[in-house]
Amino acid sequence: MKYMNIITNAKNKIIRKAISLYTPRGRREHSLFPVEGVRAVTDALARGARCDFLLVAQSAEFEALKSEVAYVVSDEVFRSLSDTINPQGVFGAFEIPKTQVDETRGAVVLCDNVRDPGNVGTIIRTADAVGCGGVIFSKGCADVFGPKAVRSSMSGILSVPIKTDADLAEEAENLKKRGITVVATMLSANSVSLYESQLQKNCAFIIGSEAEGVSEKLAAKADMCVRIPMRSHAESLNAAVACAVVLYEHLRRNLV
C-alpha cells in the first residue's frame, strides 16, 4: 500500500514532540507519555486510553492502525525516536491518566523510594492483576510514566489508579483515619511472619526501596510490620517480588 504525506524529516514538529516524551520535562509539559510496540499500543487503545497521536513506521506490518493513524513515518525517522533497540514501528502518545485511588476496592500499595523503573512497572502490573485500589508513589520513586516503567507495567498503568510525588507519611495517616490497616513489609524486632499476620480486608502495604527498605519515619506510621519467611542466607527479596508475595497472600485470604 502506498501512502502520501509520509514524514521523512526528523525535525518535523510532531516527531520533536514525540521525542520530548522520553524526558520527564516533555511528559510534564504535554501531559502525555510514550507507548511503543504493537501489543502495548493496541492494549492502550482497547482500554480506552486517550491518544493524542500515533506514529507508524512505513514498513511496519500493522495495516489496521495505518488506515486510521494520523502519521506514517519513514523507517529512518522512526528509528531516531524509538527508545528500543529493535522497534516494532508503532508509537503512541497517550494522555497521562487522572485517577483517584480507591482504598475500599482492595489492597493499596505505598512505594517508598522505589527507584528502579522496572520494579515500578512490575509493581503496577501486579497491582493490576490482583485488583488493587491503587498505587501511591513517593517523590523519590522512579518516574512512573517513563518508557521502562510503562513497558514493565504491561498496560497496567492504564488500569490501576496511581498517585505520584506523594508524602507517604501523610498518606498513611489519612488511610488509617479511614480504617485502612497500614502494613510495612520489613525485617524488624517486631515483625511477624506474613503467613501468621492478621491481615484485614482493606490493607495498605508499604514497599521499601531496593537499597534501604522502608524508612524509619514511614515504618513508625504502620499498624504492623510483616516479614516474608526466607530459607538459606538471602537477606531480602527484590522490591517487586516482595510486593507480589504480599499482594497475592492478601488476595488468597479474601477470595472467599
- Among 27, 245, 222, smallest CA distance to 126 is for 245
Alpha carbons 16 and 242: distance in angstroms, whole number: 39
Alpha carbons 65 and 57: distance in angstroms, whole number: 11
* Cβ 123 vs Cβ 247: under 8 Å: no
The amino acid that residue 111 corresponds to is: C
Share of the chain above pLDDT 90, in %: 74
**pLDDT at site 94:** 96
> 3-state DSSP call for residue 113?
coil
- The pLDDT of residue 69 is above 90: no
> Mean pLDDT across the stretch 215-224?
94
| Helix or strand holding residue 109 (H, E) | strand 108-111
Confidence of residue 66 (pLDDT cuts 50, 70, 90): low
> Mean pLDDT across the stretch 161-177?
96
Give the chain's length: 256
User: How, if at all, do strands 51-57 and 90-95 pair?
Assistant: antiparallel
Torsion of CA 202, 208, 209, 210, to 10 degrees: -100
Q: Return the half-sphere exposure (C-beta side, CA atoms, 13 A cut-off) of residue 146.
A: 17
- Residue 43's Cβ-count burial label (10 Å; 0-12, 13-18, 19+) is middle
Confidence of residue 87 (pLDDT cuts 50, 70, 90): confident
